[in-house]
Amino acid sequence: MKKALIIVDVQNDFCEGGALAVPGSNGIIPYINLLMEKNEYDQIVLTQDWHPADHKSFASTNGKKVGETISLNGVPQFMWPDHCVQGTFGAEFHQDLNQEKVTHIIQKGKNSEFDSYSAFQDNNHFVKTGLDDFLKYHDIQLLEIVGLPLDYGVKFTCLDAVQNGYITCLHFNGTKAVNVKPENGRGAIYEMLENSVTVLG
């Protein structure tokens, strides 16, 4: 059975000191590096939030405050601080992440009208990123998933992976939650477990 490691959005803006820093995020990077070093993956894929500067998920674009929610193309949209803007330092992968064995990069959130938490598709389910096609082309059946943040990008990538027919495993030690609400990370784990995601210690 061929397997791939999906590393979700380990970018400067999601790491400590970034515009949308996930608490404890830097601590997962050595674990992710160790996974790549100790395991034989057929593919290792990095995903990269890659927003235009006027992205509609940004509070600044809409004249809103961070934390408010608006309706964006019929879908509730949380208002985030500007983050992972194309071509900026914040959008770059963290320097401590070992990229030597990476075989593919998927960029998401490139359309200013739609946010894209999942590495597979935007939140409106209008546009695919190409990840599923890439994995199917390489006959991947098993996905191991890590990255940031647990309660958004990682959760929705895991749920979509199951929907697309992959055996899906989350490495708990390879992810951290942003926890807009304190219970979000815990809730994400329960939701994934209820939807056939295996959570590895």
Predicted confidence (pLDDT) per residue in 111-124, tens digit: 999 999 999 999 99
> pTM of the prediction?
0.97
- The answer to whether residue 159 sits within a structural domain is yes
- The answer to whether residue 109 sits within a structural domain is yes
- The answer to whether residue 73 sits within a structural domain is no
Beta strand 167-175 with 198-200 is parallel
Give the residue among 1, 4, 99 at the shortest CA–CA distance from 43: 4
- The answer to whether residue 76 sits within a structural domain is no
Residue 70's φ and ψ, nearest 5 degrees, are -120, 170
Residue of higher predicted confidence among 74 and 157? 157
Ranking 51-55, 73-77, 92-96 by mean pLDDT, the lowest is 73-77
Question: CATH number, domain at 145?
Answer: 3.40.50.850
Residue with tokens 């071509």: 87
- The answer to whether residue 80 sits within a structural domain is no
- The answer to whether residue 175 sits within a structural domain is yes
H/E run at residue 108: strand 104-108
Domain containing 181 equals 2-50+94-200
Residues 115, 200: Cα–Cα separation, whole Å: 28
- The answer to whether residue 78 sits within a structural domain is no
Q: Amino acid identity of 194? A: E
- The answer to whether residue 89 sits within a structural domain is no
Residues 108, 115: Cα–Cα separation, whole Å: 8
Residue 150's φ and ψ, nearest 5 degrees, are -55, -45
Number of domains into which the chain is organized? 1
Other beta carbons within 10 angstroms of residue 176's beta carbon come to: 23
